[in-house]
Amino acid sequence: MEFLRLLVLVVYLGTPLLIIWCWWRFAAAGRGKLHWPMAAALGLWLLQAGVLLYFIAICMSGHCTLTPLQEHGPAVLLVCAYIGIGGLLWLAWRKKSGSDPS
């Protein structure tokens, strides 16, 4: 169980580093402007991180009487953000490799 927690933490904290590394690699390749997908991916990560910190702060303050929507909302947002980040990185990779005609 401890390995799973460590893996989740590494993936969670490694995501912005991966986005920044991909942004740097795509910029170094010099194949078009890929700023908006990388900025949007980083923005999605920052959005879900802010919401997660907000809900952690609510529970730490002792007001942790959450509705079902508030209870499951951060998990749904986390999954949707990671799907969006994956999609944006895939789009940037496609544009970089030149397989996207637009």
| Domain span including residue 81 | 15-97
Does residue 3 fall inside a structural domain? no
Q: Is residue 35 part of a domain?
A: yes
Q: What is the CA radius of gyration of the chain?
A: 17
| 68 domain residue, yes or no | yes
Please give the structure tokens belonging to residue 81: 């953000």
Let me know: does 17 contact 41? Beta carbons within 8 Å: no
**Is 1 within a domain?**
no
50-63 residue pLDDT tens = 988 888 888 888 77
**Tokens 């637009």 label which residue?**
102
d(CA 94, CA 15): 19
Q: Is residue 2 domain-resident?
A: no
Record the pTM.
Answer: 0.77
**Does any domain span residue 81?**
yes
Closest-CA residue to 83 (of 44, 49, 32, 37): 44
| 48 inside domain | yes
Number of domains the chain contains:
1
The answer to whether position 8 is within a domain reads no
Parts of the chain with a pLDDT under 50: none
